[in-house]
Chain A
């Protein structure tokens, strides 16, 4: 029988929202996330290729990757918000994945 993983019992399942967007949107995205009730996030510079053509990032900035662990309901709200405000004109993708975290109440 496999050894029991002591972490399995104490993890809480929450949603990890990941947004990859052109860097110029960083300030605006973070402001929106805070307004929607997100309590914390991680931002990393990113670069890559996608369906959108050229963008400001070719001169400077590139993309940013914003990640936040939130309650699944809030994740849905964030997705709707990003879809409504950014998809039309900007190079933005967003996805949600389920993650297991410790100290689950920290994110709620």
Chain B
């Protein structure tokens, strides 16, 4: 276990993340320029979709359907318990609880990608169609959480436009367009079809991900200052929720017939918290929720936890499940 965790920490991607954290803590002015950050994030999303789509073209529909349904179910259920836990155990406001439900029910593409890299480094094979599950995991929790908030807050009809606007924001936001669009492009082109673009989208992927994680380290460390405001409950939640969700994801993946690597990846999907799609939707539909709570939990607690400890943990668990 320790050895596995160590090999995860020693990958260039994770080391670059830690370098970013260190640079930020040392008050370096290092940042990726905004347009570069945007370009890399577009690249990563599209590359993941493309590769997953090509794998989907080669997969049996029967192998994909059950994991897809299980993923959808996780996306619907996780926000329910997160809402209940933060609202009643954490005594947080309706808006803040719903915001956390949206973030923790949705998923983090970067965490997913880092986990794929990790499994590659330990030679654990995974199903190629997994990026399809990322696309499925992204949206439902956000919808569930916003609907809960709407019901609980008993909004007046005049404000109901916000929910639709937020949904629109999620569905045409770049994560879904690029991920789902990339899947479609990969599916239509097939694995032979994407061969010409593979040097760019597949071979260069690890290097570009490493650069992105450097920036994520900087962004994460800038949030550390908000940890005090977040308070002990939220920090504890940010550490415990991924472990619980990750364990449920691994077990569900195992039951759905995924390989050990695939089950570990479903664990990662369930464990990780969104910080691109969900914040945008929540800011629009739930402006009264406090971003320094949900963003700090998602970005400054859960993301680094998953990156360093969570991923090897879910992998270990999946290995034991598989026997």
Contact = CB atoms under 8 A, between A and B. Distances in A.
Given A28-B165, A89-B288, A56 B283 contact: yes
Nearest to B279: A56
Given A24-B283, A59-B275, A59-B299, A53 B291 contact: yes
A94 B6 CA distance: 52
Contacts of B296: 54
Contacts of A88: 287-288
Contacts of B288: 88-89
B280 A56 contact: yes
Contacts of A22: 283
B5 interface: no
B18 interface: no
Dominant SS at the A interface? loop
B99 to A, nearest CB: 11
Interface residues of B, number: 24
Contact of A59 (B219, B226, B290, B292): B219
Contacts of A104: none
B276 A89 contact: no
Given A59-B279, A60-B276, A89-B288, A54 B223 contact: yes
A95 interface: no
B222 A58 contact: yes
Nearest to A54: B292
Interface size class of A (residues with CB under 8 A): 10 to 19
Interface in A45-71: 53-56, 58-60, 62
A105 to B, nearest CB: 34
A55 B223 CA distance: 11
B27 to A, nearest CB: 16
A60 B37 contact: yes
A90 interface: yes
Contact of B295 (A59, A62, A90): A59
A59 B276 contact: yes
A60 B295 CA distance: 12
A8 B292 CA distance: 50
B104 to A, nearest CB: 16
A89 B287 contact: yes
Contacts of B280: 24, 56
27 contacts: A22-B283, A24-B283, A28-B284, A53-B226, A53-B291, A53-B292, A54-B223, A54-B226, A54-B291, A54-B292, A54-B296, A55-B283, A56-B279, A56-B283, A56-B295, A58-B222, A58-B223, A58-B295, A59-B275, A59-B299, A60-B34, A60-B37, A60-B38, A88-B287, A89-B287, A89-B288, A90-B287
Given A22-B283, A54-B226, A56-B295, 4 more contacts: A28-B284, A58-B219, A58-B223, A59-B276
Interface of B: 34, 37-38, 41, 165, 219, 222-223, 226, 229, 275-276, 279-280, 283-284, 287-288, 290-292, 295-296, 299
Interface of A: 22, 24, 28, 53-56, 58-60, 62, 88-90
> Which 3 pairs show the lowest CB-CB distances between chains A and B?
A89-B287, A54-B292, A56-B283
